[in-house]
Amino acid sequence: MLNFDVTKKCLVGEGWCPIFAKTKIQEALQRATFDSSSQVGIIFHVLDAVESPPTYFRTNRFTNAFQEIVDAYGVAKYQEANPAVYTIVTFPFLFAVMFGDWGHGICLLLGALVLIARESKLSSQKLGSFMEMLFGGRYVLLLMSIFSIYCGLIYNEFFSVPFHIFGDSAYKCRDATCSDAQTVGLIKYKDLYPFGVDPSWRGSRSELPFLNSLKMKMSILLGVAQMNLGIILSYFNARFFSSSLDIKYQFIPQVIFLNSLFGYLSLLVVVKWCTGSQADLYHVMIYMFLSPFEALGENRLFWGQSVLQVVLLLLALIAVPWMLFPKPFILKRLHMERFQGRTYGILGTSEMGIDDQPDSARERAEEFNFSEVFVHQMIHSIEFVLGAVSNTASYLRLWALSLAHSELSTVFYEKVLLLAWGYENIIIRLVGLAVFAFATAFILLMMETLSAFLHALRLHWVEFQNKFYHGDGYKFMPFSFALLVDDDD
C-alpha cells in the first residue's frame, strides 16, 4: 500500500483519516518506530486534497442500524446533513402509525428484548441471512415496538379489542340518571375519554367513518410536518455550504409553495377539529383553485378565509417561476463576470485579444452550459411541484395500512377466535385458538411488520430525503489487515 518517493530512499503512503484520529495515528507511528528500533523517523504530514473527502459518522450499537438504513439509499457527501439523526425517531414512529396495536407491540417488544439480551452470544455466532438481518436491526425493532404500544394505546386496540384502560366511556350515560352529563343532539356524554379513541366507537355503525376520517387527516398532518422538516434541513445544508442562491431561489419558494397549499389544508384540519365544524374540506380545497372568489357559505371555517385563500393561491403561483427562472440566469451572469475578470487579467499582462488567448482560457469560457443548467433547474422545479402533490398523497399509506392492520386483526379475532369459542367442544376451541395464534404470528406479526417497515422506508427515502439529501458521497473505509485477510478468503 506504499510507494517509493523520487529519491527511492523512503516510502510514502497517502490516505484519509478522521480529524479526531490524527493524534492517535501519530502515537501509533511513534510506537511503531520505537518497537522496531528504526533509525529513521516517521513523518506524519497533513496534505491538501483536490478530491472530496469520504464521509464518516461515528455510530454505536444503537445508532448503527439507523445509519445503515440511510446509507442503503446513498452515502452523504462530505459534511452534508445526516438524515439518520432524525430517522432514529421518525422511522419507528411512522411504522407504529401503520402498525398501532399495543398487543402486537408487546409481542415485538419481547422479541427485541430477547435479541438484545442474547447480544453477546449471537454476535459471535454464524447466523442465517434472515436472522442476521433481524439481529442487526434489534434496536430498530425495539423502538418500533415501543412506538407501536404507544400508537396502539391511542387507537385503543389490543389484538383489535378495545379496553377501558383510562376510565369509563364518555358515552356511558343513556338515561336521565346522570345529572352531570352534557347533551349534544340525542347523545348524552360525561367528560371526554382522557387518552386515545373512546372504546365505545368499537362496533358502532359510525366506527369506520370516524376512524377513517381521523387517520386520514392525521396522515396528512404528519406528512406535511415531515416534508417541512426536509425543506428546513435543505436550508441548513445551503447555509453550511454558503449557497445563498439555494436559500433565496429554492428554500424560500419551496416553503411558500408547500405551505400555501398543503400547509393551509393542515390548518383547516386543525381548525375543524377544534371547532367541530361540519365544513367539507374537499370542497374548500377544490374550489380554492376552480372558483377562488366564490363565497364559501357553510364551508367557511373562520373570518377572512376567502381572502386568505386568494393570497395563498397567488403565492403558490408566484413560487413556481421563482424556483424556475432566477437561479440559471444569475449563475450565467456570475460566470460571465468571472470570465471577464480573467480576460482583463490576461489583457493587462500580455496585451492579447480574446482570440489570441490560450486554448485553456477559451475552454473555461465555454464551460458554463446555460441550456443544461436551465433544463436541470426546470426538472428540479417540476419535480418539486408535482412531488408536493404526490408525496402528500403518498403519506395516506399511513391511514391505509393502519386501517388494513386493524380490520385484519378484527377479522381474525371475531371470525376465528370468537366463532370457535362459541362452541362447547374443547377440540374446536383449541383448533380456533391455534389458528388465531398462527394467523397472529405469521400474518400480523411477520408479514404486516415487514409491510409497514417497507412503507416507512419508502416514506423516508422518497418523501423526506429527496427534499434535502443528495447522498452522492462515498463511505470512509479504514485500512485494516483483518479486512485484507477476509477479502483474500
Residues 42 and 142 in one domain: no
Which residue stretches of 137-190 are H helix? 138-155
Q: Which is nearest to 87 in space by CA: 229, 202, 188?
A: 229
Q: Give a yes or no: residue 355 inside a domain.
A: no
Q: Give a yes or no: residue 172 inside a domain.
A: no
Report how far residue 112's alpha carbon sits from residue 445's, in angstroms, rounded to the nearest whole number: 13
Residues 232 and 260 in one domain: yes
Residues 395 and 427 in one domain: yes
Residues 113 and 43 in one domain: no
Which residue stretches of 156-263 are H helix? 207-240, 244-246, 252-258
Q: Tell me what pLDDT residue 46 has.
A: 87
In sequence order, the 6+-apart residues with CB closer than 8 A to the CB of 429 are: 420, 421, 423
Residues 95 and 137 in one domain: yes
C-alpha cell at 62: 444503537
C-alpha cell at 426: 374443547
C-alpha cell at 71: 446509507
C-alpha cell at 82: 445526516
Report how far residue 264's alpha carbon sits from residue 216's, in angstroms, rounded to the nearest whole number: 16
Q: Give a yes or no: residue 183 inside a domain.
A: no
* 3-state class (DSSP) for residue 187: strand
Residues 430 and 298 in one domain: yes
CB 372 within 8 Å of CB 332: no
Q: Tell me what pLDDT residue 296 has.
A: 84
Residues 140 and 15 in one domain: no
Q: Tell me what pLDDT residue 187 has.
A: 52
Q: Give a yes or no: residue 277 inside a domain.
A: yes
Residues 20 and 101 in one domain: no
Q: Give a yes or no: residue 91 inside a domain.
A: yes
Residues 26 and 142 in one domain: no
pLDDT in tens, 53-92: 999 999 999 999 999 999 999 999 999 999 999 999 999 9
Residues 40 and 113 in one domain: no
Q: Give a yes or no: residue 264 inside a domain.
A: yes
Count of domains observed in the chain: 2
The dihedral built from the CA positions of residue 321, 325, 330 and 331, taken in this order, carries a sign that is positive
Report how far residue 70's alpha carbon sits from residue 63's, in angstroms, rounded to the nearest whole number: 11
Residues 99 and 202 in one domain: yes
C-alpha cell at 23: 493524534
pLDDT in tens, 366-380: 567 888 999 999 999
Range of the domain at 207: 64-162+197-324+383-467
423's torsion region: left (phi>0), alpha (psi -120 to 50) or beta?
Answer: beta
Find the angle CA(306)-CA(310)-CA(312) to the nearest 5 degrees. Answer: 115
Q: Give a yes or no: residue 181 inside a domain.
A: no
Report how far residue 447's alpha carbon sits from residue 179's, in angstroms, rounded to the nearest whole number: 49
**Low-confidence stretches of the chain (pLDDT beneath 70):** 172-190, 341-367, 486-489
CB 307 within 8 Å of CB 314: no
Instruction: For the beta carbon of residue 459, count every other beta carbon within 10 angstroms.
Output: 25
In sequence order, the 6+-apart residues with CB closer than 8 A to the CB of 328 are: 370, 373, 374, 377
Residues 142 and 245 in one domain: yes
Q: Give a yes or no: residue 156 inside a domain.
A: yes
CB 155 within 8 Å of CB 197: yes
